Amino acid sequence: MRTCRVTPLHETIPGFHDTPSRFAALERATQADPRRRTAEARREIECAFLHRSLAGVLLDLHKAGEIPERVVHNDAKISNVLFDGTTGAALCVVDLDTVMPGLAVYDFGDMVRSMTCPAAEDETDLSRVEVQMPLFEALARGYLEAATFLTPAERVHLVTAGKLITLEQGVRFLTDFLNGDTYYRTQRSSQNLDRCRTQFKLAESIIQNEAQMVRFVDIASVFCTARLRNVHSWPTMIRPAGGRSTRSRSVNLDAALTGADRPRPARS
């Protein structure tokens, strides 16, 4: 789809990833409280609005011309990939009604949300909900090897997209819970609230591991560039905590990606 032109495409679901609008909908649901559920979800509502400042980050970058609009799936979660039941190989992407103009980082963000934590989307034991770094590293490496069209600005904000899309999905679940479960199918009364809690816990885990995730993307990006140039060793760009990227010594990038040369996560 990267060769498709954006302009002729219709926006099938307007505002699908308009996170500020998702927060506005949550605010309306909180104020109206049609099913008298705000008391039960008070902690989740406070958590959501605590992170509201993140909502417009990617849209603002796009409006400023720093991140381009592309033809993207817009709902690139793992349940929209069809797998071979015998071999486990991915066969194709399904649920194409959301294919429309959008940001490539949205798709990566949804993959981070749905592919880096094995826990169920409505898991009630939140101790099981956390980003698994080996899964993230496999995802980032595979994506960056294929998505050679990404601009530097897009690569820089891949982890931000994971954090944002996970938060956005939690806000959507929470809004639906407050409105009486009118959008997402539920099998029990608090299922959407449990889904919200799972997303918020995963977003928290992404934030806790953000420095390590960003550093891995930096390394993987250089690795993929080196592969395109048929180079096996490349000066790695390491982003120190709180600082600008600096050039490190030349390392073996296969070793870097398996942990031998990977920078240690900053201590909190």
Q: At which residue do the structure tokens 């806000």 appear?
A: 171
56 occurs within a structural domain:
yes
What is the per-residue pLDDT for 53? 95
What is the per-residue pLDDT for 100? 66
10 occurs within a structural domain:
no
Q: What is this structure's pTM?
A: 0.79
- Judge contact between 6 and 71, C-beta under 8 A: yes
182 occurs within a structural domain:
yes
The string of pLDDT tens digits covering residues 235-262 is 343 343 444 443 333 344 445 444 433 4
Neighbours of 213 (CB within 10 A): 25
What is the per-residue pLDDT for 6? 58
Q: At which residue do the structure tokens 């960056």 appear?
A: 144
97 occurs within a structural domain:
yes
- Judge contact between 98 and 74, C-beta under 8 A: yes
138 occurs within a structural domain:
no
173 occurs within a structural domain:
yes
Containing structural domain, residue 87? 19-126+165-205
234 occurs within a structural domain:
no
What is the per-residue pLDDT for 24? 98
Segments in the chain below pLDDT 50: 232-254, 256-268
Q: How many domains does the chain have?
A: 1
What is the per-residue pLDDT for 7? 63
What is the per-residue pLDDT for 227? 65
What is the per-residue pLDDT for 33? 98
Q: How far apart are CA 110 and CA 97, in angstroms?
A: 16
What is the per-residue pLDDT for 257? 46
Q: What percent of the chain has pLDDT over 90?
A: 58
32 occurs within a structural domain:
yes
